[in-house]
Structure 1
Amino acid sequence: MRIDSYIEKLLFEYNCVVVPGFGAFLAHGKSAEIDKATNALIPPSKTISFNAQLSKNDGLLVSHIAKEKKLGYEEMLQEVEDVSKDWNTRLSQGESIELYGIGKLFHNRDQKIQFQPENKINFLTSSFGLSSFAATPIQREVLKEEVQELEEKIPFIITPEVRETTSFRPWLKYAAVILLAVSLGVTGYRTYGDLQQKQVAAQQDAQQEVSRLIQEATFFESAPLELPAVNIEVTKRHLGKHHVIAGAFREEQNAEKKVAQLKEKGFNAFYLGVNRYGLHQVAYDSFDDPKEALAFLKKVKATDSRDAWLLSEK
């Protein structure tokens, strides 16, 4: 199964897409810039990078593919994990993996995963339709040389017989030269002024866009998934220091839905809160005794979910 098209689609909306068991593709905002070598103005964009350390399943990619293909979550999770195993095997054998619209993955000499972005697609939706354009610098010295050349080519003939009647013609020559120089200067000034205004406007738009992105959540930015709302009555309970975690979600309503599902299965599940990454955590249960927590975790892994893990607070 190919999953690169689903990853590409999610990168337009999210700044982090995790492939369970493999790693995460991260989107970073990049402001507009000017290429001094070509005088090209490049619009704002998103650059894509890869982090093999972020391989824990957060549910985003699996839920998206399951919804698109109308399959169950657990079934789709197994298929995605199989893809991750296949990718790791191919990379360890010296192959490279091409992800359409995203980039290329390969191993370096230290057997570490390297990522080369494709950079053909701008994942920043606010820059849709914008393309780079070259700004032509104004050459004032060239205009001056052209005026001098035209001045030399203007016909200027005075005969002794009619000197008195044609003595005003030298003024016509200089008037023509001045008029031509003024016309060229005005045209050049207007072109330069329009170009300066476009560059300033583009830079201001880029700065405004960067400021807006900074004010938003910069790492786990997302829009609510279209899931049915679930109302959960939250009651105060005694919490131990050792929690068996069922999952972490970007949206709180997804966490509440997970709590309801686990309670239907008979677990004493509850909403733990938001971690330092901005994710909403759901726990199967909480314990004061670490041995009891480990025994319960082993039972959950065997009967309900292999992705469960233990969180211990200091």
Structure 2
Amino acid sequence: MNTARHIEQLLYRHQCVGIPGFGAFLTETKPARLDEAAHTFFPPAKVLSFNPLLKNNDGLLASHLARAERLSYDDALDRIAQDVAVWRDALIAERRLTLANIGVLSVNAEGNLVFEEAGQVNYFTGAFGLSSFVSPAIRREVLAVVGEDAEEEAPIVLVPQRTESRQWLKYAAIFAIGLGTSGFFGNRYYQGRIAEETEIVQAEVQKEVGNRIQQATFFLEAPLENVVLPVEKTWKPYHIVAGAFREEGNAQRVFEKLTAQGFAAERLEPTRKGLYPVSYGSYATLSEAQAALDTIRKQHGGEAWLLVTKRH
């Protein structure tokens, strides 16, 4: 099954890979996570899902298969149709289809297709080289707290005071007191003079600062320009396409018709084949786009299809 191998290659680079006449595989990027119960870290990854309603040919798979196998575009479509027929026979006979590295498709009791992701390959290229790992829990020791009662008090040592004195120490003490008294009064006088001179200098400085402030003139030569901050527009990669036209006039008429009907219609960029697509509207998430696509198909027919574009 060469088709399954090419689908696997496209899942690394695209969020939606459609198989004409069968369905589409969708991807959604999930951030890294931690399983606290199992102490396991998981890297960011793409989660796969399958939508059997997206059966239109968006040209992605056929173009990739034609380039890889060096086939014409029509031959690539024939090769895909052959593999799809084999897949349908397997689902009818065994009610189960296994696509390597992608997942398992099975038919439930109600006759609906159920997809189970294989989970063996991480298609998120940003997590290349990362894998899940288990980190055992860290064991921390609890230190016992010692109460204050257990602290030992330092012993108090009493030193007896000597009562002996010498006669000459009296005269030395009297002489030291005299020097201290004269130094004290002299120091008080010196400090008082310094304080008076400091106040005089501070008053002069304050007076000079006040004169300079009164003489100063403040003006702006030119007003400042307004600063305009760019606001990034929300990127909406999912488009519900009403049709793609070879004549730009036809695309403009459909665009005006959808706008008059109340849709947020858009003229998308022309394709490489020179077609002018017109969409009912664009959406930021895949779930919003799928819900809108189902509503439009119910109310306006089944011609609408989903287009996914990449950020430039």
TM-score (ref. length: structure 2) = 0.51
Aligned to 1:79: 79
1:237–1:33: structure 2 CA closer, same or farther, 3 Å change rule? Answer: closer
Aligned to 1:273: 278
Residue 310 of structure 1 and its aligned partner are, at CA, apart by 6.0
Quote the Cα distance in structure 2 between the aligned partners of 1:62 and 1:132.
35
Q: Which runs of 5+ in 2 are unaligned?
A: 145-233, 240-245, 258-267, 284-301, 305-312
Quote the Cα distance in structure 2 between the aligned partners of 1:67 and 1:143.
66
Aligned to 1:181: none
Task: Render the CA deviation track for 1:221-260: whole Å, top value 9, x for unaligned.
Answer: xxxxxxxxxxx9967987369x9xxxxxxx945x241x3x
Pairing 1:142-181 to 2, within 5 Å after superposition:
142=141
Aligned to 1:128: 128
Q: Which runs of 5+ in 1 are unaligned?
A: 146-214, 221-231, 244-250, 260-269, 279-308
Q: Within the alignment, does 1:16 sit opposite 2:30 as a pair?
A: no
Aligned to 1:52: 52
Aligned to 2:198: none
Please report the RMSD computed on the Cα atoms of aligned residues, expressed in angstroms: 3.3
Kept after mapping to 2: 8 A contact 1:29/1:45: yes
- Which consecutive aligned stretches of 4+ in structure 1 deviate over 4 angstroms post-superposition? 142-145, 215-220, 232-238
Residue 31 of structure 1 and its aligned partner are, at CA, apart by 1.1
* Bigger mean CA offset, 86-95 vs 59-68: 86-95
Residue 85 of structure 1 and its aligned partner are, at CA, apart by 2.4
Kept after mapping to 2: 8 A contact 1:92/1:111: no
Quote the Cα distance in structure 2 between the aligned partners of 1:93 and 1:277.
40
Quote the Cα distance in structure 2 between the aligned partners of 1:82 and 1:93.
17
TM-score (ref. length: structure 1) = 0.50
1:32–1:94: structure 2 CA closer, same or farther, 3 Å change rule? Answer: same
Q: Which has the larger radius of gyration?
A: 2
Residue 138 of structure 1 and its aligned partner are, at CA, apart by 2.4
Higher RCO by CA contacts (8 Å cutoff, separation 6 or greater) = 1
1:125–1:58: structure 2 CA closer, same or farther, 3 Å change rule? Answer: same
Quote the Cα distance in structure 2 between the aligned partners of 1:19 and 1:35.
35
1:107–1:234: structure 2 CA closer, same or farther, 3 Å change rule? Answer: closer
Kept after mapping to 2: 8 A contact 1:97/1:105: yes
Quote the Cα distance in structure 2 between the aligned partners of 1:86 and 1:112.
18
Residue 94 of structure 1 and its aligned partner are, at CA, apart by 2.8
1:3–1:237: structure 2 CA closer, same or farther, 3 Å change rule? Answer: closer
Quote the Cα distance in structure 2 between the aligned partners of 1:236 and 1:90.
43
1:35–1:272: structure 2 CA closer, same or farther, 3 Å change rule? Answer: closer
Residue 32 of structure 1 and its aligned partner are, at CA, apart by 1.0
Give the secondary structure class of the aligned counterpart of 1:68.
Answer: helix
Percent identity reads 32
1:73–1:275: structure 2 CA closer, same or farther, 3 Å change rule? Answer: farther
* Bigger mean CA offset, 92-101 vs 62-71: 92-101
Kept after mapping to 2: 8 A contact 1:23/1:55: yes
Kept after mapping to 1: 8 A contact 2:40/2:134: yes
Quote the Cα distance in structure 1 between the aligned partners of 2:63 and 2:21.
16
Candidates 233, 239, 257, aligned match of 2:253:
239
Aligned to 1:33: 33
Residue 129 of structure 1 and its aligned partner are, at CA, apart by 0.6
Aligned to 1:189: none
Task: Render the CA deviation track for 1:177-210: whole Å, top value 9, x for unaligned.
Answer: xxxxxxxxxxxxxxxxxxxxxxxxxxxxxxxxxx
Residue 58 of structure 1 and its aligned partner are, at CA, apart by 0.5
1:237–1:13: structure 2 CA closer, same or farther, 3 Å change rule? Answer: closer
Quote the Cα distance in structure 2 between the aligned partners of 1:237 and 1:95.
44
Aligned to 2:148: none
Kept after mapping to 2: 8 A contact 1:16/1:219: no
Quote the Cα distance in structure 2 between the aligned partners of 1:237 and 1:36.
54
